[in-house]
């Protein structure tokens, strides 16, 4: 179980570092093995910062981030179990080396005792598992492959480890529509094999495609989270409703979100100090920020 409990990230800001900017503010959620959690929000909402903290690439300022009850500590043992695939696959490859060098690096770091024949068989199986033909992609330079092929090779690299969780940060944003579906179906297959996935995106249609749970972020804070069908079937926060209203629909004009008559957080009787209120089992909402709410928190 990957668990974030009131995780906060503050960066120093200003000409001399005297100020600070809170990029992530008391974010809490969990992701279980075999579960895909979609992290949704506009650019600058803190999604990628959360992903980098989960991967141990950015230090947590406050709160706790644990994997199976143990604090996340970057290192070889941790990266055997948790890996990330990022938005721009081309940036993950050295253009002067062939694409399959990523597998050689994994072998050197984690499987130095595996023989050549056995390793070749493992690589071939991992590549076929991500629906690629080893003969068409191995031994080629990155510029000779498409973005979708490079993304899938990165996932194949992760499969050569004892992977428990994958952080997928906007991995479909640079791909065409048909390739996006291929990658999403690949994630579905990995999920069925027991892999936990944190899927970071700003695209609601893709975020709802596979996710059992959804976390909606705004300005670094969770405004709504819970079971995906509940969050999008009955959105309670004005920001969630605005996101849904902005999704293009064929033969329909875009419309503004319908304002809520009342703040579900206050109407539910949340106690002072609560970040989120459970309006129904598996569905949590935050106070609607002024002026949408029209009230101040207790």
Range name among 51-55, 60-64, 266-270 with the lowest pLDDT average? 266-270
At residue 279, φ and ψ (nearest 5 deg) are -80, -25
| Model pLDDT, residue 296 | 47
Highest mean pLDDT among 75-79, 174-178, 201-205, 286-290: 75-79
More confident residue, 244 or 138: 138
> Are 202 and 281 contained in the same domain?
no
| Model pLDDT, residue 231 | 92
Residue 297 has pLDDT above 50, yes or no: no
- CATH number for position 221: 3.40.50.300
Residue 253 has pLDDT above 70, yes or no: no
**What is the DSSP pairing of strand 196-201 with strand 36-40?**
parallel
pLDDT tens-digit readout, 131-183: 889 999 998 999 999 888 888 888 888 888 888 899 988 887 767 777 777 77
> Are 75 and 149 contained in the same domain?
yes
Average pLDDT, the chain: 84
> Are 210 and 250 contained in the same domain?
no
Task: Select from 211, 233, 255 the last residue of a domain.
Answer: 233
> Are 75 and 117 contained in the same domain?
yes
Task: Select from 193, 216, 233 the last residue of a domain.
Answer: 233
Residue 161 tokens read as 């480890």
Which pLDDT band holds residue 262 (cuts at 50, 70, 90)?
A: low
> Are 16 and 74 contained in the same domain?
yes
Q: Which domain holds residue 260?
A: 236-298
pLDDT tens-digit readout, 190-220: 888 888 999 998 877 777 778 899 999 998 9
What own/partner pairs with CB < 8 Å and gap ≥ 24 does 104-112 have? 106/157, 106/160, 106/161, 107/160, 109/76, 110/76, 110/80, 110/160, 110/161, 111/160
CA distance 200 to 50: 9
> Are 220 and 255 contained in the same domain?
no
Residue 23 has pLDDT above 80, yes or no: yes
More confident residue, 73 or 173: 73
Domain total of the chain: 2
Task: Select from 207, 233, 259 the last residue of a domain.
Answer: 233
């Amino acid at each position: 179980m990957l668990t974030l409990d009131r995780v906060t990230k503050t960066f120093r800001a200003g000409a001399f570092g005297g100020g600070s900017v809170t990029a992530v503010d008391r974010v809490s959620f969990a992701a279980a093995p075999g579960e895909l959690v979609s992290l949704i929000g506009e650019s600058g909402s803190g999604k990628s910062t959360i992903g980098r903290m989960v991967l141990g690439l950015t230090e947590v300022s406050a709160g706790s981030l644990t994997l199976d009850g143990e604090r996340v500590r970057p290192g070889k043992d941790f990266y055997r179990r948790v890996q990330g695939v990022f938005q721009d696959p081309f940036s993950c490859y050295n253009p002067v080396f062939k694409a399959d060098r990523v597998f050689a690096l994994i072998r050197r770091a984690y499987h130095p005792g595996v023989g050549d024949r056995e390793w070749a068989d493992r690589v071939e199986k991992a590549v076929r598992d991500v629906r690629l033909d080893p003969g068409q992609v191995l031994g080629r330079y990155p510029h000779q492959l498409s973005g979708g092929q490079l993304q899938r090779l990165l996932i194949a690299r992760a499969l050569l480890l004892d992977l428990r969780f994958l952080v997928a940060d906007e991995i479909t944003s640079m791909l065409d529509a048909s390739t996006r579906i291929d990658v999403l179906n690949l994630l579905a297959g990995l999920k069925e094999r027991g892999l936990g996935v944190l899927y970071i995106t700003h695209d609601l249609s893709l975020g709802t495609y596979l996710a059992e749970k959804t976390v909606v972020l705004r300005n670094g804070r969770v405004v709504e989270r819970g079971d995906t069908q509940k969050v999008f079937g009955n959105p309670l926060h004005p920001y969630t409703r605005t996101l849904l209203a902005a999704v293009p629909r064929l033969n329909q004009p875009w419309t503004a979100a319908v304002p809520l008559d009342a703040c579900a957080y206050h109407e539910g009787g949340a106690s002072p100090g609560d970040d989120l209120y459970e309006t129904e089992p598996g569905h949590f909402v935050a106070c609607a920020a002024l002026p949408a709410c029209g009230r101040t928190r207790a």
